[in-house]
Structure 1
Amino acid sequence: MRLLKLLVRRNNCVMVATHQAPVVKTYIRGIRRRYLLLGQEYGIVLRQGARNSLKIEKDNFVVTLSEMTKENFERFIEDWYRRTARKIFLKSVAKYISDSPPQIKIYKMRRAWGRCYYRKNIITINLHLVKCPEECIDYIVLHELCHFTHNDHSKDFYKMVTETDSHWKQKDARLKEFSQSRVTLLQRLHI
């Protein structure tokens, strides 16, 4: 009898303790576990919280979501990539031009890293470029900026690129190598 009372009392304590602790979901089925930013690979740590946020801690994106669903995660991570890409791309443009920089538009593009619309003073940059090393981003931005002077790939165009950055060929090669190995895979995964 004493043993039964003890078990009942312990079970009640266990039940009370279980009801007091909120269930915190830290996994969402169907999301990738690795992401790229500026050439570095990051894991994902999920937390549930009052509002969506992302902090970088060591080798992880620590993502806090108000609603732990795949759709909310994907929408949030793409918006975060867009905001981060805009900051990084504008910083890169500022390295080359300070007065009246072109408008930057960010799109997911399948066949190009960037495009220049010199008549409209617009550069479009592939969202996935933010996943590449910073030196590759700088090269693409420089390449597109040079199109404002030479709207082709003539000798004069490449002369201008070379005068601005004598190491552009190495950066172009690194971008091709990087994109074939990592970013292309991520594009196939629609992120």
Structure 2
Amino acid sequence: MSRNVMNALIKSNSQPLSFCYGDERINFERVLRPKATSKVLIKVHPDCRVVVSAPEDATSETVLYAVKQRGRWIYEQLREFRQQLEHVTLRKYISGESHYYLGKQYLLKVHVEPDQVQGVKLLRGKLEVSVRASDATRVKNLLNDWYKIRAREVFARRLDVLLEQALWVQERPPIRILTMQTQWGSCSPYGRITLNPHLVKAPRDCIDYVILHELCHIAEHNHSERFYRLLSQVMPNWEKTKERLDGLASRILAL
């Protein structure tokens, strides 16, 4: 599994930088801090991304100084998260595994039935997959197709609900479902929203966060102060929700 697990479009307005701690060079992203403050905020995410939020007028020297001051803490956080990632087991798509849907874990049960129709059903707390022959790749493909169908239905419903809050959106934006390597979602300059089908594995509030994030991009295309102000108006707790989604990513995406 790639360690660049998904993140809802934080990179388009970021600046890659790095510093040395001992013998290790640590890369980090500098992003615009949404709140009017002179402080530099440093976060180490469970996928081992280091993100530094700083005011627009802060110099690179100021940012690097702040990061180096926290160098030991950053290094220790990275070491802890790397150890956790080593224990993330890639799924084998066999009976007994757990798979996520809307934030809950469901036991996978594979039925090999040569004469039955192949497909996936969610029954009594289990994801039941019927295949004609024992084939992990086939089970994986059937599950991915099932997730895409559910994603289209769930995302459409949540979009309809969230549009009631997004008063700046004049017309219902089209949704595209697309598996992406480094993003949960994106918004085109023309207002089309693209969402990752794996997002349907996350809790509903995390799905709402990503959709609202992209709806805000219809009004503000960059991660500007106005963008974050708008996002905070419609979802005051978005930072905690985003952090929760980041924390779940390695488990949700252990493919």
Q: Same fold (TM over 0.5)?
A: yes
Structure 2: where are the runs of 5+ without partners?
Answer: 1-91, 165-169
Give the counterpart letter for 1:137 in structure 2: I
Instruction: Pick the aligned partner of 1:135 from 188, 191, 205.
Output: 205
Instruction: Pick the aligned partner of 2:100 from 8, 29, 36.
Output: 36
Partner SS state of residue 45, structure 1: strand
Residues 1:67 and 1:104: Cα distance change in structure 2 (over 3 Å): farther
Q: Does 1:115 align with 2:207?
A: no
Give the counterpart letter for 2:158 in structure 1: S
Equivalent position of 2:220 in the other structure: 150
Partner SS state of residue 230, structure 2: helix
Partners in 1 of 2:175 and 2:187 — Cα distance? 10
Partner SS state of residue 154, structure 2: helix
Partners in 1 of 2:182 and 2:228 — Cα distance? 21
Partner SS state of residue 176, structure 2: strand
Q: Does 1:45 align with 2:109?
A: yes
Shift of residue 34, structure 1, vs aligned partner: 2.2
Q: Does 1:124 align with 2:171?
A: no
Q: Does 1:164 align with 2:230?
A: no
Shift of residue 134, structure 1, vs aligned partner: 1.0
Shift of residue 72, structure 1, vs aligned partner: 2.9
Where in structure 2 are the equivalents of 1:1-191 lying within 5 Å? 30-32=92-94, 33-47=97-111, 48=113, 50-97=116-163, 100-119=171-190, 121-180=191-250, 182-184=251-253, 186=254, 189=255
Shift of residue 171, structure 1, vs aligned partner: 0.8
Of stretches 105-114 and 135-144 in structure 1, the one that deviates more from structure 2 is 105-114
Partners in 2 of 1:169 and 1:122 — Cα distance? 24
Higher RCO (CA < 8 A, seq sep 6+): 2
Partners in 2 of 1:148 and 1:35 — Cα distance? 33
Shift of residue 52, structure 1, vs aligned partner: 2.5
Structure 1: where are the runs of 5+ without partners?
Answer: 1-29
Shift of residue 63, structure 1, vs aligned partner: 1.8
Q: Per-residue displacement from partner, 1:36-89 (whole Å, max 9, x unpaired)?
A: 111111111123253123222233101223454334322211111110111111
The RMSD of aligned alpha carbons is 1.9
Give the counterpart letter for 2:98 in structure 1: R
Partner SS state of residue 221, structure 2: coil
Give the counterpart letter for 1:107 in structure 2: L
Partner SS state of residue 51, structure 1: coil
Q: How many residues align?
A: 155
Partners in 2 of 1:113 and 1:151 — Cα distance? 17
The alignment's TM-score, normalised by the length of structure 1, stands at: 0.73
The alignment's TM-score, normalised by the length of structure 2, stands at: 0.56
